[in-house]
Every structure is written in C-alpha cells, then in structure tokens.
Amino acid sequence: MSEAKTYRKHVFVCCTEGCCGARAGEAVYKAIRAELSESKITDVLVTKTQCLGLCPEVGATVVVYPDSLWYVVSKAEDGTEIVRECLIAGRPVTRLISQEISLETHRKATSS
C-alpha cells in the first residue's frame, strides 16, 4: 500500500466565471501550476475555487494555507512571484496581500 500524499501548502485560486476567473484567476492558476512544475515543487497543492467572499474590484483572489495569506492578483506574473517568493523562499509577497481582509473580517462577512 502506498503512503498518503502530504502537502506543505494549499493554494486556492478563485476562478469564478464572470468575476475573478475572467479578470486574472485563470491566468494566475496556470502560471502557478507552470512555475511549480518548472521548479519541481510537488508538495504544494493548487485548487481552482469558486467565490472566496473577497471579490476584489480589480484582479482575483488567491489564498495560501496554512499561512492564511490573502492575495489580490492582477496578472499571470503575480502568480509566478507568489510561487518564487511565498511558496519557495517563504516570504509573503507583501505588495499583493489584500488590504481589505483578515480572516476575522472574512468570517463576519460570510457568516450572515
């Protein structure tokens, strides 16, 4: 019996059609997958998701767990930077971190 696969990080990329997906989500999802593959990183799981409740006016939402980092991305290169800095080097990409949300405010916004 093979061992269960474990992941160091889990990245959620909002690809909601007509919102994040159309603005940058799909392009960033592909960029993150490509950069992970190129870097031979196999312990990071990347998942397309529907609305995460942030819905930025510009760009798309990316969340990295277990760090609870909420990013707003606007182009494919942002995804590449998240892989290189956040997922490989272990440094949050501060310029992309959402200024509008923390986990607590997100919980309040989605609990009603």
Interacting residues toward ligand FES by CB under 6 A: 14, 16, 19-20, 51-55, 60-61
Q: How far is the CB of 83 from ligand FES (least distance, A)?
A: 20
* Rounded distance between C-alpha atoms, residue 79 and residue 63, angstroms: 11
Our CB check for ligand FES shows the closer of 80 and 98 to be: 98
Our CB check for ligand FES shows the closer of 63 and 87 to be: 63
* Rounded distance between C-alpha atoms, residue 68 and residue 94, angstroms: 13
Q: How far is the CB of 73 from ligand FES (least distance, A)?
A: 11
Our CB check for ligand FES shows the closer of 54 and 93 to be: 54
Q: How far is the CB of 30 from ligand FES (least distance, A)?
A: 16
Q: How far is the CB of 20 from ligand FES (least distance, A)?
A: 3
